[in-house]
Amino acid sequence: MNVAFDNRSNCERRRRVPLAWTVLIVLDLCLMAIVCAQDEAKEAVVESKTVNVVVDKHESGTQAAAVAENARSAAAPRDKVPGVSVVQLEGPNQIEANAMRFEAIDVFVDSGNQPLAAYQVELASKTPGVEIVGIEGGEHAAFADPPYYDSRAMNNNRVIIAAFTTGENLPAGRSRVARIHVQLQGPGVKEYETKLRVSATTDGKRVPAELSIEKSEA
C-alpha cells in the first residue's frame, strides 16, 4: 500500500508544471496575442489607406465596379466629399512673410425654416501659419455662450465645436453660431476645410442645414 501511494505521488509530481514555467507560458501567450493584434491593426491601417484596388479575376463585373467606385470615393479630394467644403479667405499681400496678424472667422449655420437647437462643426486650416487662439459664441441668444470643444483634442489649426440648447427661443434660417479667432503668419489667402457634422432641432431630429464661414468684419 505504501509503495502504491508513493508511486501515485511520484506520478503527480511529474505531471505538475512548476509555477515559474506556468508564468512563462502565460507571458508568452500574452505576447503572442499582443503581436497578432498589432499586426492586424497595421494591416487594417494599410488597407484603409490603400487607394489602388486589385480586383480578383474571379470577381463578377458588378463586384468589380463596386470596388472601383469605393476606391474612387476614397481617393476623391476632401472638398468633393459630401458635407466637406474648402473655403478661401482673402488676406493682405503687402506684408512680410514672418509678420503675425489676427483675424476672426464667423461660422454660420443655415437650417432653413427649421429651428436649430444643436450643431457640431469641424474647422481646419489647410494653409501653414494658422493657429486657433480663441472661440466665441454666436449672435443669437440661444448660442451666445462659447461652444463646447475638447482642448486636449484641439490642434493648433483644427478644432471641433458643438453647442445645444433646450430653450424655446431658437434661430432659424442663416445664423452666426460661433466666432473663431486665429493667429496668422504671412500674407495672402488662407484656406480652410469645414464640415457640418450635426444639425438638429428641438426633439433631437436631424435637419438639413448648410455651413459657411466668413472673415469677420467686426
CB atoms within 10 A of CB 2: 6
Residue 4, phi-psi category: left (phi > 0), alpha (psi -120 to 50), beta (remainder) = alpha
Domain of 100?
Answer: 78-215
Burial, 105: exposed, middle or buried (Cβ in 10 Å; 0-12, 13-18, 19+)?
Answer: buried
From 28, 55, 75, the end of a domain falls on 75
Local confidence pLDDT in tens for the 218 residues of the chain: 444 444 444 444 444 444 444 444 444 444 444 444 444 444 443 343 333 333 333 333 434 444 344 444 444 455 455 578 899 999 998 889 999 999 999 999 999 999 999 999 999 999 999 999 999 999 999 999 999 998 877 888 899 999 999 988 999 999 999 999 999 999 999 999 999 999 999 888 999 999 999 999 86
Measure the N-to-C terminal CA separation of the chain; round to a whole number of Å.
102
- In angstroms, the CA 163 to CA 196 distance is 12
Residue 105, SS3 per DSSP = strand
**Block residue for cell numbers 437650417:** 111
Residues 154 and 202 in one domain: yes
Residues 26 and 85 in one domain: no
pTM of the model: 0.63
C-alpha cell at 53: 484596388
Which of 194, 190, 156 lies closest to 178 in space, CA to CA?
A: 194
Residues 61 and 93 in one domain: no
C-alpha cell at 212: 459657411
Q: What angle do CA 178, 182, 185 make, to 5 degrees?
A: 160
User: CATH number of the domain that 183 lies in?
Assistant: 2.60.40
**pLDDT for res 153:** 75
**pLDDT for res 80:** 52
Residues 150 and 124 in one domain: yes
From 55, 75, 95, the end of a domain falls on 75
Supply the DSSP string of 147-171, one letter for each residue. PB--TTT-BTTEEEEEEE---S---
Residues 31 and 101 in one domain: no
From 75, 104, 138, the end of a domain falls on 75
Residues 147 and 46 in one domain: no
- In angstroms, the CA 78 to CA 63 distance is 25
Residues 176 and 114 in one domain: yes
- In angstroms, the CA 159 to CA 156 distance is 8
- In angstroms, the CA 108 to CA 171 distance is 11
Specify the amino acid at residue 197: R
Residues 82 and 154 in one domain: yes
- In angstroms, the CA 104 to CA 5 distance is 89
Number of domains the chain is built from: 2
DSSP label at residue 83? T
